[in-house]
């Protein structure tokens, strides 16, 4: 739009200039004719009685009349309504041009302002990039330090807990553990460590020989040894932190891959079996929702013989309760084909426990 207005203004200016040049040329010719008229020698004429009268030759008057006629004919062509409209349009175009110049000046000012803002933003961006690089370097250093500290803590925990695992085989040592002021904190540490370990490596468990795995196994081994003694079993069942830890151990059985962490599952099964020897512990385990279907699934999915034996021992301990409803639930989740297969096992431990379990279930079926 701005370009169209400028072009129209230029065209109007050219038209006015052309018309003005035509008028100027006509006026010049008229002046020249008039000068010639004045400069020509006067002809002798009869004297006139009126001193104010000037006598002009007829041919000069004819030329003046012709020039005047031509001028009258030309003026309407040059100065007409179209010329007046064009003149007004030119004035409007000039005003529009001035407005456009002001807008252009304002736009140029805005351009300069945004250029300055852009430059400032670029400088700030470069500063932010430099700051980001600095923070990234610091973060890398912190991550490296954290990784080193984590490895050190895992190594330290593995060494210390392995020693405690061996010490916890003694009943006096277990008694000293459970009467100490830090035993509740220790149980919380064990529970949180196991939960964090499972959450971190649920899809792909690390090798059991790593420091981190040895640390977790040693913690589970300590709890298993505590549950191996009557005072330890009683403490784990009656203490709220101990019960929470038992729930975590049960969840580990269902959340660890069957083809990995066999040693971890074995320690958890042994610990739960030790707890089930206690009457309070047995009642607590049987009240855990889904425990019997979980043990039945482990029997079918577990590949390690030791874990199958521990699972059967825990199931046998559960069926020792004279609870018809509980025995019926065991009978529902354990198919006869699986029991017959376990009874025919070449492993004497599996065979012995399977026979006892089958006899308990058959007794249940024979009862009215």
Read off the pLDDT of residues 238-284 as tens digits, 9 standing for 90 and up: 999 999 999 999 999 888 887 788 899 999 999 999 999 999 998 89
The mean-pLDDT minimum among 10-14, 197-201, 241-245 falls in: 10-14
Report in angstroms the alpha-carbon separations of 256 from 199, 201, 262, 264: 10, 9, 9, 9
State the number of CA atoms in the 13 A half-sphere of 310 facing the CB: 23
Residue 231: burial class (beta carbons within 10 Å; 0-12, 13-18, 19+): middle
More confident residue, 50 or 260: 260
Please name which of 198, 186, 187, 274 lies closest in space to residue 229, comparing C-alpha atoms: 274
Confidence bin at 67 (pLDDT 50/70/90): confident
Which DSSP state fits 179? Answer: T
The mean-pLDDT minimum among 54-58, 163-167, 278-282, 364-368 falls in: 364-368
Structure tokens, 114: 């945004």
Question: In the chain, where are the structural domains located?
Answer: 168-288, 289-368
Report in angstroms the alpha-carbon separations of 320 from 8, 85, 107, 224, 358: 109, 117, 93, 21, 12
- Residue 40 confidence (pLDDT) above 60: no
- Residue 187 confidence (pLDDT) above 90: yes
Direct distance between the N- and C-terminal alpha carbons of the chain, in angstroms, rounded to an integer: 103
Q: What is the rounded average pLDDT of the residues 112-136?
A: 92
Please name which of 299, 314, 298, 318 lies closest in space to residue 360, comparing C-alpha atoms: 318
Confidence bin at 7 (pLDDT 50/70/90): low
Please state, rounded to an integer, the average pLDDT across all residues of the chain: 81
Report in angstroms the alpha-carbon separations of 29 from 22, 70, 114, 284, 292: 11, 11, 59, 130, 127
pTM of the model: 0.64
- pLDDT confidence of residue 100: 87
- Residue 319 confidence (pLDDT) above 90: no
- Residue 232 confidence (pLDDT) above 80: yes
Q: What is the rounded average pLDDT of the residues 352-358?
A: 84
Would you mind telling me the total number of residues written for the chain in this entry? Answer: 368
More confident residue, 361 or 262: 262
Q: Which of 125-139, 317-331, 335-349 has the highest mean pLDDT?
A: 125-139
Structure tokens, 235: 């403490």
SS3 string of 226-273? HHCCHHHHHHHHHCHHHHHHHHHHHHHHHHCCCCCCHHHHHHHHHHHH
Q: What is the rounded average pLDDT of the residues 117-140?
A: 93
Confidence bin at 216 (pLDDT 50/70/90): very high
What backbone phi and psi angles, to 5 degrees, belong to 321? -75, 130
- pLDDT confidence of residue 45: 47
- pLDDT confidence of residue 31: 66
Confidence bin at 133 (pLDDT 50/70/90): very high
- pLDDT confidence of residue 44: 47
- Residue 120 confidence (pLDDT) above 70: yes
Structure confidence by residue, pLDDT tens digits, 70-101: 777 766 666 666 666 776 777 777 788 888 88
Question: What is the distance between the alpha carbons of residues 83 and 239, in angstroms, rounded to a whole number?
Answer: 110
Mention every residue, 6+ apart, whose C-beta is less than 8 A from residue 241: 184, 187, 188, 191
- Residue 20 confidence (pLDDT) above 70: no
Helices (H), the chain: 2-39, 58-78, 81-167, 171-178, 183-200, 211-227, 230-238, 240-255, 262-276, 279-286, 291-301, 305-319, 324-333, 336-343, 348-366
DSSP 84-115: HHHHHHHHHHHHHHHHHHHHHHHHHHHHHHHH
- Residue 331 confidence (pLDDT) above 50: yes
Question: What is the distance between the alpha carbons of residues 149 and 157, in angstroms, rounded to a whole number?
Answer: 12
């Amino acid at each position: 739009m701005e370009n169209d207005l400028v072009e129209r203004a230029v065209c109007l200016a050219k038209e006015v200039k052309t018309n003005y040049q035509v008028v100027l040329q006509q006026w010049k010719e008229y002046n020249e004719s008039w000068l010639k008229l004045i400069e020509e020698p006067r002809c002798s004429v009869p004297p006139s009685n009126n001193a104010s009268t000037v006598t002009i030759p007829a041919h000069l008057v004819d030329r003046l009349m012709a020039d005047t006629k031509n001028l009258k004919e030309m003026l309407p062509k040059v100065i007409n309504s179209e010329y007046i409209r064009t003149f007004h349009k030119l004035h409007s175009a000039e005003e529009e041009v001035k407005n456009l110049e002001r807008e252009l000046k304002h736009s140029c000012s805005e351009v300069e302002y945004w250029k300055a803002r852009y430059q400032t933003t670029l400088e700030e961006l470069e500063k932010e990039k430099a700051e980001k690089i600095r923070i990234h370097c610091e973060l890398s250093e912190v991550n490296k330090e954290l990784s080193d500290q984590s490895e050190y803590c895992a190594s330290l925990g593995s060494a210390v807990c392995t020693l405690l695992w061996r010490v916890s085989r003694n009943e006096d040592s277990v008694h000293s553990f459970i009467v100490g002021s830090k035993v509740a904190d220790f149980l919380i540490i064990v529970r949180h460590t196991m939960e964090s370990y499972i959450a971190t490596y649920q899809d792909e468990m690390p090798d059991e020989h790593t420091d981190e795995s040895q640390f977790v196994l040693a913690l589970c081994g300590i709890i298993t040894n505590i549950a191996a003694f009557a005072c330890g079993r009683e403490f784990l069942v009656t203490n709220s932190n101990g019960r929470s830890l038992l729930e975590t151990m049960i969840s580990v059985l269902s959340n660890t891959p069957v083809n990995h962490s066999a040693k971890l599952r074995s320690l958890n099964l042994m610990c739960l079996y030790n707890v089930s020897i206690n009457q309070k512990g047995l009642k607590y385990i049987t009240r855990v929702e889904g425990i019997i279907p979980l043990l039945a699934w482990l029997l079918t999915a577990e590949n390690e013989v030791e874990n199958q034996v521990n699972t059967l021992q825990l199931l046998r301990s559960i069926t020792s309760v004279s609870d018809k409803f509980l025995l019926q639930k065991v009978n529902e989740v354990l198919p006869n084909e699986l029991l017959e297969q376990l009874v025919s096992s070449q492993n004497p431990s599996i065979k012995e426990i399977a026979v006892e379990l089958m006899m308990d279930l058959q007794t249940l079926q024979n009862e009215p």
